[in-house]
């Protein structure tokens, strides 16, 4: 669920989108009466191939308006608006920016059933620009909104205290520096004007705003989001809160969980007494969960700028959970909504289950709420092709309860077929990588949830069936992951990943398969490192492997590479892309002295971009990789090389005009990398590629619009 609004102390509406049985996204809504949530029937706008609800605003229990956008059959994004009258939802006619191929609404605020403001952005030739529409009780009309000079801009949230007083917030990105900064605009009933914001000296974005009227404060507003310094090693994303009071914006000391390596605030709500609550999510520095829900409160009556973090539970059997919206109909009484998943899907992954929690007197509790019907999602994480007509792809699918299970599919040169694949005895599991030295011999690795953390497992293919193999975890590990595998033969496989122990950050993990059993290998750690993670491994023979990833230390960090010579692992020297720290995500080796690796780095803009590096047996040489035109960020996730002058890397990019994710492929010809055209399935849920194999032509797999995705360049 993306947003929630309460028309009274006991009546709330939450909205979002889900993958329907056809795989396309559709809007949904749930109503809350007391503590009971009920799915509502929501019509799909005419002409929509896929559609999303992003925001909702309720002025009473019988008057709510939700907004978002749809994608039509030719790929145009158009705004949508629907109204709830207490009995049913109905579509309201609404137009986008004239001549724009993309217009999306991301925030709405209504002060009455006949007065609403919705904000978002549209795509112009110069990039994404701000957009707003007003509802007068009869129709929607486009408003003129300013944009910072020489910048792209996007509005994510809006709050109105009257029909002539609104504040909208979002972000803008300079065309000169690439720096993203906070953006706020004020509506006086006639004109939108940009407001001056504090300079944070780094990347910063605002996602939500709420206003209140209280003694001493008058009418004031709180905006939340995140900021960082734009540096890979020193720029952790942290929560951001700003206060509009006395005619200007000023920073508030938003709180961050101890040891977090990333924290974000996505929603905020304020009661009439000036008590505000914000929600989002954070990533612990180590531990059993990659994403956890976050809530914090600020009380204007205390006369302090400090925020205080609350304790928010996660559903049982959950590894990822996060909040996206919040509504507080009265002080110390709030409802927060979002979603959770039971593997490392994260904010960009499968939204397996809706999440709703309520607070009373500062204590949060989970409220049971239904999931919309339809597909729960599936994805392919890896592929191996010993021949052009023999490929194995592995990944996951979600069952009706939202639990993830392993998925295996085979390609015979003509069509894909699903294979039965076993699962460890656990609530949730997924395979992450596969390697096949022959059509009848494959080994896949993955992770399963044991009730408290992620653990490793493997399964083998004998040409007829898959069977689980006993896979040890590191001694003392509370959390372990296998991310990659490479098998030169049926009796020689190396799997790589990482693990964590109580009170420590991640450590590198490698395991060796000898044809009958797995054994854990000793891995060196960069001196002074706090975290060292292996993302990929490639073995050209039983005595020659290279594993790559990244590490971080108190004063340094960056790419990590280690080599196996048949007897021991040793750390390889690595280079920095353009002088910046980065991380390796994939590697492909033809011999002990010929490897290609790809990864990503932050060039100081706050957005990652891909790079490549070649290994000649003694040094790594950095290679430039182009970013797709019109991309905000891009990443390479998998790599396959058939010679030193023929490599294909795949991944994804986010379009700056639509903020959607699209598939990415780049090819290496021995001299330079170039972007190759790739198809994308229809629907705004986004597409990414996570695996590639090139026996002759290349086959890539991933996830498109919430379902499995496979494509070939042959």
| Residue 235 sits in the same domain as residue 348 | yes
Supply the pLDDT for residue 398.
76
Residue 350 has pLDDT above 60, yes or no: no
Q: How far apart are CA 480 and CA 474, in angstroms?
A: 8
Q: For residue range 295-343, what is the model confidence (pLDDT) as tens digits?
A: 999 988 776 678 999 999 988 767 688 999 999 988 778 999 998 875 4
CB 595 within 8 A of CB 538: yes
Supply the pLDDT for residue 289.
53
| Residue 347 sits in the same domain as residue 431 | no
Give the residue with greater pLDDT, 675 vs 654.
Answer: 675
Mean per-residue pLDDT, 168-174: 94
Task: Tell me the HSE value of 104 on the side-chain side, using a 13 A CA sphere.
Answer: 29
In a domain, 65, yes or no: yes
Q: How far apart are CA 495 and CA 487, in angstroms?
A: 9
In a domain, 596, yes or no: no
Q: How far apart are CA 376 and CA 374, in angstroms?
A: 6
Residue 232 has pLDDT above 70, yes or no: no
| Residue 382 sits in the same domain as residue 370 | no
Supply the pLDDT for residue 374.
62
Q: For residue range 72-127, what is the model confidence (pLDDT) as tens digits?
A: 888 889 999 999 999 999 999 999 999 999 999 999 999 999 999 999 999 987 78
Closest listed residue to residue 19, CA positions, set 430, 411, 339: 339
Burial environment of residue 422 by CB neighbours within 10 A (0 to 12, 13 to 18, 19 or more): middle
| Residue 369 sits in the same domain as residue 398 | no
Q: Is 221 left (phi over 0), alpha (psi -120 to 50) or beta?
A: beta
CATH number, residue 164? 2.115.10.20
Supply the pLDDT for residue 233.
36
Q: Are strands 390-398 and 378-387 parallel, antiparallel or unpaired?
A: antiparallel
Number of domains the chain contains: 4
In a domain, 498, yes or no: no
CB 241 within 8 A of CB 278: yes
3-state secondary structure of 680: coil
Q: For residue range 498-513, what is the model confidence (pLDDT) as tens digits?
A: 998 865 678 999 999 9
| Residue 361 sits in the same domain as residue 415 | no
Q: Which of 137, 170, 195 is the last residue of a domain?
A: 195
Q: How would residue 348 be classed by pLDDT, with cut points 50, 70 and 90?
A: very low
Q: Listing from the earlier edge strand, what are the strands of the sheet with 50-60?
A: 50-60, 63-71, 77-84, 89-92
Q: Is 528 left (phi over 0), alpha (psi -120 to 50) or beta?
A: left
In a domain, 66, yes or no: yes
- Letter string b/e over residues 323-352, b meaning 16 or more CB atoms within 10 A of that residue's CB: bbbbbbbebbbbbbbbbbbbbbbebebbbb
In a domain, 544, yes or no: no
Closest listed residue to residue 382, CA positions, set 404, 348, 403, 406: 406
Q: How would residue 286 be classed by pLDDT, with cut points 50, 70 and 90?
A: low
Length of the chain: 714
Burial environment of residue 99 by CB neighbours within 10 A (0 to 12, 13 to 18, 19 or more): exposed
Token pair 């029937």 is found at 41
Query: Got the DSSP string for 530-549?
Result: EEEEEEEEEEEETTEEEEEE
Q: For residue range 410-454, what is the model confidence (pLDDT) as tens digits?
A: 998 888 999 999 999 876 889 999 999 999 999 999 999 877 778
Q: How far apart are CA 128 and CA 682, in angstroms?
A: 21
Q: For residue range 610-660, what is the model confidence (pLDDT) as tens digits?
A: 999 999 999 999 999 999 988 888 999 999 999 999 999 999 998 876 677
Residue 681 has pLDDT above 80, yes or no: no
In a domain, 218, yes or no: no
Q: How far apart are CA 586 and CA 661, in angstroms?
A: 20
| Residue 91 sits in the same domain as residue 172 | yes
Can you give 432-447 as a three-state secondary structure string?
Answer: EEEEEEECCEEEEEEE
Q: How far apart are CA 306 and CA 252, in angstroms?
A: 7
In a domain, 453, yes or no: yes
CB 423 within 8 A of CB 431: no
| Residue 367 sits in the same domain as residue 456 | no
| Residue 190 sits in the same domain as residue 278 | no
Q: Which of 374, 391, 406 is the last residue of a domain?
A: 374
**Gyration radius of the chain over CA positions:** 25
Supply the pLDDT for residue 344.
44
3-state secondary structure of 255: coil
Supply the pLDDT for residue 22.
61
CB 276 within 8 A of CB 250: no
Give the residue with greater pLDDT, 408 vs 229.
Answer: 408
Q: How would residue 237 be classed by pLDDT, with cut points 50, 70 and 90?
A: confident
| Residue 382 sits in the same domain as residue 348 | no
Give how far Cα 218 sits from Cα of 213, 221, 245, 247, 333, Å: 5, 10, 8, 11, 22
| Residue 363 sits in the same domain as residue 380 | no
Q: How would residue 345 be classed by pLDDT, with cut points 50, 70 and 90?
A: very low
CB 11 within 8 A of CB 33: yes
Q: For residue range 359-375, what is the model confidence (pLDDT) as tens digits?
A: 987 789 999 888 777 65
DSSP state of 372: P
Mean per-residue pLDDT, 674-690: 82
Residue 352 has pLDDT above 70, yes or no: no
CB 267 within 8 A of CB 3: yes
| Residue 301 sits in the same domain as residue 384 | no
Supply the pLDDT for residue 62.
96
Average pLDDT, the chain: 89
- Full domain range(s) for residue 122: 1-195
In sign, the C-alpha dihedral spanning 241, 243, 248, 251 is: negative
Q: How far apart are CA 292 and CA 256, in angstroms?
A: 12
Give how far Cα 332 sits from Cα of 273, 358, 406, 476, Å: 11, 10, 42, 41
Residue 604 has pLDDT above 70, yes or no: yes
Q: Which of 441, 460, 488 is the last residue of a domain?
A: 488
Q: For residue range 209-229, what is the model confidence (pLDDT) as tens digits?
A: 999 987 667 789 999 999 986
Residue 52 has pLDDT above 50, yes or no: yes
Q: How would residue 537 be classed by pLDDT, with cut points 50, 70 and 90?
A: very high
Other C-beta atoms closer than 10 Å to the C-beta of 263 total 24
In a domain, 210, yes or no: no
| Residue 185 sits in the same domain as residue 323 | no
Mean per-residue pLDDT, 43-54: 91
């Amino acid at each position: 669920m993306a947003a929630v609004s309460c028309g009274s102390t006991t009546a709330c509406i939450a909205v979002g989108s889900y993958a329907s049985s056809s795989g396309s996204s559709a809007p949904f809504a749930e109503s809350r009466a007391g503590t009971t949530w009920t799915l509502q029937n929501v019509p799909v706008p005419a002409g929509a191939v896929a559609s999303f609800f992003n925001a909702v605003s309720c002025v009473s229990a019988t008057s709510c308006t939700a907004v978002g956008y749809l994608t039509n059959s030719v790929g145009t994004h158009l705004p949508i608006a629907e109204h709830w009258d207490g009995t049913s939802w109905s579509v309201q006619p609404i137009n986008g920016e004239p001549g724009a191929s993309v217009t999306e609404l991301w925030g709405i605020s209504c002060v009455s059933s006949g007065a609403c403001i919705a904000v978002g952005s549209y795509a112009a030739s110069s990039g994404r620009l701000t957009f707003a529409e007003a509802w007068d009780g009869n129709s929607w009309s486009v408003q003129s909104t300013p944009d910072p000079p020489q910048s792209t801009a996007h509005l994510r949230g809006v709050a109105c205290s009257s029909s002539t007083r609104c504040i909208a917030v979002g972000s803008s990105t300079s065309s000169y520096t690439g720096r993203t900064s906070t953006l706020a605009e004020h509506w006086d009933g006639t004109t939108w004007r940009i407001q001056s914001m504090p300079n944070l000296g780094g990347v910063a974005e605002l996602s939500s705003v709420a206003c209140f009227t209280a003694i001493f404060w008058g009418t004031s507003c709180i905006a939340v989001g995140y900021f960082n310094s734009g540096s890979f090693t020193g720029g952790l994303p942290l929560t951001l809160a700003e206060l509009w009071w006395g005619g200007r914006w000023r920073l508030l000391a938003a709180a961050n969980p101890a040891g977090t390596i990333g924290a974000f605030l996505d929603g905020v709500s304020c009661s009439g007494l000036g008590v505000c609550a914000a929600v989002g999510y954070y990533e612990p520095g180590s531990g059993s969960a990659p994403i956890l829900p976050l809530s914090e409160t600020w009380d204007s009556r205390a006369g302090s700028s400090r925020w205080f973090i609350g304790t928010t539970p996660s559903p049982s059997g959950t590894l990822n959970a996060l909040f996206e919206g919040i509504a507080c109909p009265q002080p110390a009484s709030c409802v927060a909504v979002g979603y959770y998943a039971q593997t490392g899907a994260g904010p960009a992954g499968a939204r397996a289950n809706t999440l709703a929690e309520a607070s009373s007197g500062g204590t949060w509790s989970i409220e049971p709420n239904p999931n919309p019907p339809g597909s729960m999602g599936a994805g392919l994480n890896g592929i191996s092709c010993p021949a052009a007509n023999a490929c194995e792809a592995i990944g996951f699918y979600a069952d009706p309860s939202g639990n993830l299970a392993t998925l295996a599919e085979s390609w015979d040169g003509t069509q894909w077929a699903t294979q039965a694949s076993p699962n460890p005895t656990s609530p949730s599991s997924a395979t992450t990588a596969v390697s096949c030295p022959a059509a009848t011999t494959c080994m896949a690795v993955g992770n399963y949830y044991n009730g408290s953390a992620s653990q490793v497992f493997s399964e083998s293919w004998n040409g007829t069936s898959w069977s689980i193999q006993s896979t040890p975890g590191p001694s003392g590990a509370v959390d372990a992951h296998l991310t990659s595998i490479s098998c030169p033969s049926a009796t020689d496989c190396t799997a790589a990943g990482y693990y964590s122990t109580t009170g420590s950050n991640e450590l590198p993990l490698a395991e060796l398969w000898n044809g009958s059993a797995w054994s854990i290998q000793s891995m060196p750690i960069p001196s002074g490192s706090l975290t060292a993670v292996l993302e990929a491994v490639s073995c050209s023979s039983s005595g020659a492997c290279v594993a790559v990833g990244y590490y971080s230390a108190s004063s340094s960090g960056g790419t990590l590479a280690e080599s196996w010579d048949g007897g021991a692992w040793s750390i390889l020297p690595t280079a920095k892309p353009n002088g910046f720290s980065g991380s390796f995500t994939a590697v492909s080796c033809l011999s002990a002295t010929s490897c290609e690796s790809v990864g990503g780095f932050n060039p100081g803009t706050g957005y990652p971009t891909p790079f490549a590096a070649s290994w000649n047996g003694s040094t790594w040489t950095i290679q430039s990789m182009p970013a797709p035109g019109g991309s905000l960020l891009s990443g390479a996730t998998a790599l396959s090389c058939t010679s030193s002058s023929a490599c294909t890397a795949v991944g994804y990019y986010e379009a700056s005009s639509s903020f959607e994710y699209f598939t990415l492929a780049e090819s290496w010809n021995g001299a330079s990398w170039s972007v190759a055209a790739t198809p994308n399935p229809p629907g705004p849920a986004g597409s990414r590629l996570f695996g590639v194999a090139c026996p002759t032509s290349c086959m890539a797999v991933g996830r498109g619009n919430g379902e499995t995705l496979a494509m070939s360049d042959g």
